[in-house]
């Protein structure tokens, strides 16, 4: 008796909008530098209900840190301390040093507007390869404190977890590492897009 090999595949097509496609930090031209304050991360309530892990404080902290890292690297903004307690503790030192306290022109925060796990399975010659692709959509919103107008920049990031030789692994849904990797990619694109939006308006 002869058994013929077979192959099977399950996947979902994903669309990436033009405004989400990955951008390079090198695309940003620095013509001036303004002060910017970063507020807490905001989550899409429906996403948080579906994926409670997104509400973990470590996720919010990680996204805020990543936004600060990207902004610091680009150099378009000077980051201003947002924590009120720290601001108050610094105030006396600033007065003692007769330092000039500059106004903060922009306020920014991050929103996760899209999160999904795309499962793909390939079965060939009896071996199973499972690929779980974590997809994160991030939006950076920057408010101009001088006129209350705002602009947004979005980005989509992807990271894959790959398992081979088994039918199911309890850790294949998604993990902190894949979320972090996908978020980093999305954050860079979102920041580039929001800076371009600011510059187009001549702020």
Q: So where are the chain's domains?
A: 7-29+39-75+105-200
The pair phi, psi for residue 70, each rounded to 5°, is -65, -45
Over residues 171-198, the pLDDT tens digits come to 555 567 778 888 999 999 999 999 999 9
Count the Cβ atoms, other than its own, within 10 Å of residue 150: 16
CATH class for the region spanning 7-29+39-75+105-200: alpha beta
Which pTM was predicted?
0.76
DSSP class per residue in 18-60:
TTTS---GGG---S--EEEEE---EE-HHHHHH-GGGGSHHHH
**Range of lowest pLDDT (81-95, 98-112, 132-146):** 81-95
CB 112 within 8 A of CB 54: yes
Over residues 50-101, the pLDDT tens digits come to 877 777 767 888 888 999 999 999 999 999 887 766 666 677 776 666 767 6
Q: What integer pLDDT is reported at residue 34 of this predicted model?
A: 95
């Amino acid at each position: 008796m002869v058994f013929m090999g077979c192959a099977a595949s399950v996947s979902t097509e994903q669309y990436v909008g033009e405004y989400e496609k990955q951008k390079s930090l090198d695309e940003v031209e620095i013509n001036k530098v303004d002060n910017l304050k970063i507020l807490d991360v905001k989550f899409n309530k429906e996403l948080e209900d579906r994926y409670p892990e997104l509400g973990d404080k470590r996720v919010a902290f990680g996204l805020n840190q990543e936004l600060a890292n990207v902004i610091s690297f680009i150099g378009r903004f000077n980051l201003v301390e947002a924590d009120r307690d720290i601001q108050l503790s610094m105030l006396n030192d600033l007065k003692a040093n007769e330092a000039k306290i500059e106004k903060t022109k922009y306020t920014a925060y991050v929103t996760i507007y899209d999160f999904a796990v795309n499962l793909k399975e390939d079965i060939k010659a009896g071996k199973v390869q499972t690929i779980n692709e974590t997809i994160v959509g991030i939006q950076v919103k920057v408010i101009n404190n001088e006129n209350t107008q705002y602009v947004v920049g979005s980005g989509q990031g992807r990271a894959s977890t790959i398992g081979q030789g088994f039918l199911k692994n309890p850790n294949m849904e998604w993990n902190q590492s894949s979320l972090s990797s996908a978020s980093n990619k999305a954050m860079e694109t979102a920041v580039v897009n929001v800076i371009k939006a600011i510059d187009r308006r001549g702020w």
